[in-house]
Amino acid sequence: MADQIALVYGDGQRVAQVTTALEQRGVHVRGGETLEELVSLCGGLADGSVDLYVQLPTSVEARGSSVVARVRNFLSDGLIARFDAAGTVMPKLRRGASVVLVSGNHPADTAAPDNQRARMALLQVLGSAVIMERPDDDLSVTIVDHLREPDELAAIALEPPAARIRVLADFAEASPELDWGDWRNELLSLTTTEA
């Protein structure tokens, strides 16, 4: 394929690692850590010029005077902000582009309630929204867990999609209470093909 362009967004160290992995595969990469940087990067790109978008988790600081406020701000600053980032990138994606959403936004406040499955479900909602934004396109979304190495993420971003949306998450770790049969059923129920 001709020179590919990728946008990589998220925490700086992970952006650098994934950028290196993609560049070693001949991809031209632009990376940003903040939404402001992502907006600026997108401003310098023509619509329909981006082949790959890898969205990594970002660091979210605990803020708020109560547990409820801290959880609300964690969701707003982390997971919900990922919708803004994806919305910024959407016009820049070419037809058939590959989007990789990497889980991993964790509350900094370890005393705050957390639900990893709910966080993964929100990423699935984001992935579905990306697909629905371009219903007549063959754009694909892959949702993966944060345990993937940068080389794995680069390979996933570059491989031909098996489905328009797929989930490649480590549910064995996310749900250790499940036996193998339950784990398989959970995984199969989250791996979908949409026309």
Sign of the alpha-carbon dihedral angle for 73, 78, 82, 85: positive
pLDDT tens by residue, 17-53: 999 999 999 999 999 999 999 999 999 999 999 999 9
Place 194 in a pLDDT band, splitting at 50, 70 and 90: very low
Q: What domain range includes position 127?
A: 5-190
Range of weakest confidence among 24-28, 128-132, 182-186: 182-186
Range of weakest confidence among 65-69, 74-78, 116-120: 116-120
pLDDT of residue 90: 97
More confidently predicted of 195 and 52:
52
pLDDT of residue 180: 42
Which residue from 132, 126, 160, 129 is spatially nearest to 52, judged by alpha carbons? Answer: 160
The total domain count for the chain is 1
Q: Is residue 117 part of a domain?
A: yes
| Mean local confidence (pLDDT), 53-81 | 87
- Which amino acid belongs to residue 53? Y
Place 169 in a pLDDT band, splitting at 50, 70 and 90: low
User: Do 87 and 42 meet the contact criterion of CB atoms below 8 Å apart?
Assistant: no
* Distance separating alpha carbons of residues 98 and 22, to the nearest angstrom: 13
pLDDT tens by residue, 70-104: 888 888 888 889 999 999 999 999 999 999 999 98
User: Do 141 and 99 meet the contact criterion of CB atoms below 8 Å apart?
Assistant: yes
Task: Read off the CATH number of the domain in which 101 is found.
Answer: 3.40.50.720
* Distance separating alpha carbons of residues 60 and 26, to the nearest angstrom: 32
More confidently predicted of 74 and 1:
74
pLDDT of residue 192: 42
Q: Is residue 45 part of a domain?
A: yes
Range of weakest confidence among 33-47, 77-91, 128-142, 162-176: 162-176
Q: Is residue 195 part of a domain?
A: no
pLDDT of residue 186: 52
Which residue from 67, 64, 153, 69 is spatially nearest to 104, judged by alpha carbons? Answer: 153
- In Å, how far are 24, 42, 55, 146, 181 from 33, measured between CA atoms? 21, 13, 10, 17, 39
Which residue from 5, 51, 49, 13 is spatially nearest to 30, judged by alpha carbons? Answer: 5
pLDDT of residue 178: 47
pTM above 0.85, yes or no: no
Sign of the alpha-carbon dihedral angle for 184, 190, 55, 162: positive
